[in-house]
Amino acid sequence: MITAGDLRPGNTVARGRDLLQVLDFAHVKQGRGTAFVRTKLKNLASGAVTEETFRPEEKFGRVRIERTEAQYLYRDGDNYVVMDTTTFDQFPLPPSLLGEAVNYLKESDSVFLLQYEGRILGVELPTAVELAVTETEPGFKGDTANAAFKPATLETGLVVDVPLFVNQGDRVRVDTRSGRYLERA
């Protein structure tokens, strides 16, 4: 068991039949009265995000999420097919299960499958991925009157702001947590 006062972002807990992932956590102590814990929780079954408050001594069931390495193989209709690299089992995953990860996936990329009791809950990407720029306007030397960034479409269809010196065909590294340009690869 884990108490509400011990919750931290990234923890996964069980409440009733629901698996909840802690997205945000704040321990609040007001001048008068008792302290409470304000959390933002994501229901892993439905994807719904709720904000709830708890007393610090309230208890939750501790959940152990297994991370197994997998490789994204190909897209089959609407589903994305991934292969567990240890057992070579293939799983078709719907886009709703992948969420924002679909913007960063290209064939042969490594990901981690997040599983609980044999059920796949989602995927975890590396913190940065390398993608090719498929379309962007040319940058002109000295064009810094506006912002020094321009939009670029990457090979997965994701659009990010890149510096003016990045051209079509260049490879760039993108942070998968924020969706921002990191550097030219």
Into how many domains does the chain fold?
3
Are 58 and 76 part of one and the same domain? no
Are 141 and 111 part of one and the same domain? no
**Contacts with 118 (C-beta within 8 Å, 6 or more apart), sequence order:** none
Are 6 and 57 part of one and the same domain? yes
Q: What is the CATH number of the domain that holds 40?
A: 2.30.30.30
CA angle 71, 158, 47 (to 5 degrees): 65
Are 111 and 134 part of one and the same domain? no
pLDDT of residue 30: 82
What's the pLDDT tens digit per position in 16-41? 888 888 888 888 888 888 889 899 98
pLDDT of residue 150: 87
Are 77 and 118 part of one and the same domain? yes
Are 134 and 174 part of one and the same domain? yes
Are 6 and 58 part of one and the same domain? yes
Tell me the C-alpha distance between 154 and 169, whole Å: 9
Are 148 and 172 part of one and the same domain? yes
Tell me the C-alpha to C-alpha distance, in Å, between residue 150 and each of 109, 134, 137, 144: 27, 14, 8, 11
Give the amino acid at 147.
A
pLDDT of residue 143: 57
Reading the block at residue 81, the tokens are 């097919």
Q: What is the CATH number of the domain that holds 143?
A: 2.40.50.140
pLDDT of residue 1: 86
Tell me the C-alpha distance between 169 and 185, whole Å: 11
Are 142 and 117 part of one and the same domain? no
Q: What is the mean pLDDT of the chain?
A: 86
pLDDT of residue 142: 60
Give the amino acid at 96.
S
Are 97 and 139 part of one and the same domain? no
| Boundary-marking domain end, from 86, 109, 124 | 124
Are 73 and 118 part of one and the same domain? yes
Q: What residues in the chain have per-residue pLDDT under 70?
A: 139-147
Tell me the C-alpha to C-alpha distance, in Å, between residue 173 and each of 35, 148, 181: 43, 18, 6
pLDDT of residue 147: 64
pTM reported for the whole predicted model: 0.70
36: containing domain: 2-62
